[in-house]
Amino acid sequence: MSYQIGDEIPSITLQDTDGNYVTIKSGTDKNTILLFFPLAFTGVCTTEMCTVRDNMKVYESLRTDVYGISIDSFFCLKAFKESTNLNFNLLSDFNKVQSTNFGVLNNDHYGMIGVAKRSVFVLDSDMKLLHSEILKDAGKLPNFNKIREALS
Q: Is residue 6 part of a domain?
A: no
Q: What average pLDDT does the chain have?
A: 93
Q: Is residue 1 part of a domain?
A: no
pLDDT confidence band for 2 (50 / 70 / 90): confident
Distance of alpha carbon 130 from the chain centroid: 14
Q: Is residue 4 part of a domain?
A: no
Which ranges in the chain belong to alpha helices (H)?
A: 43-54, 56-61, 74-84, 97-101, 144-151
Q: Are 75 and 12 in contact (CB under 8 A)?
A: no
Q: What is the pLDDT of residues 45-76, one digit of tens each?
A: 999 999 999 999 999 999 999 999 999 999 99
Q: What is the pLDDT of residues 66-110, one digit of tens each?
A: 999 999 999 999 999 999 999 999 999 999 999 999 999 988 767
Q: How far is CA 81 from CA 22, 23, 29, 45, 134, in A?
A: 16, 19, 26, 12, 23
How much is the average pLDDT of 119-139?
Answer: 94
Q: Which entry of 35, 45, 49, 77 is annotated as an active-site residue?
A: 45
In the residue annotation, 45 being an active-site residue is answered as yes
Whether 129 has a pLDDT exceeding 90, the answer reads: yes
Whether 1 has a pLDDT exceeding 90, the answer reads: no
Q: Is residue 7 part of a domain?
A: no
pLDDT at 109: 66
CB neighbour class for 26 (10 Å; exposed up to 12, middle 13-18, buried from 19): middle
Q: Can you give the pTM of this predicted structure? A: 0.94
Q: Is residue 127 part of a domain?
A: yes
* Beta carbons within 8 Å of 130's beta carbon, 6+ residues apart: 5, 31, 122, 123, 124, 150, 151
Q: Is residue 62 part of a domain?
A: yes
Domain count, the chain: 1
pLDDT at 108: 74
- CATH number, residue 32: 3.40.30.10
Give the DSSP letter of residue 148.
H
The residue range of the domain holding 136 is 12-151
Q: Is residue 5 part of a domain?
A: no
pLDDT confidence band for 111 (50 / 70 / 90): confident
Q: Is residue 122 part of a domain?
A: yes
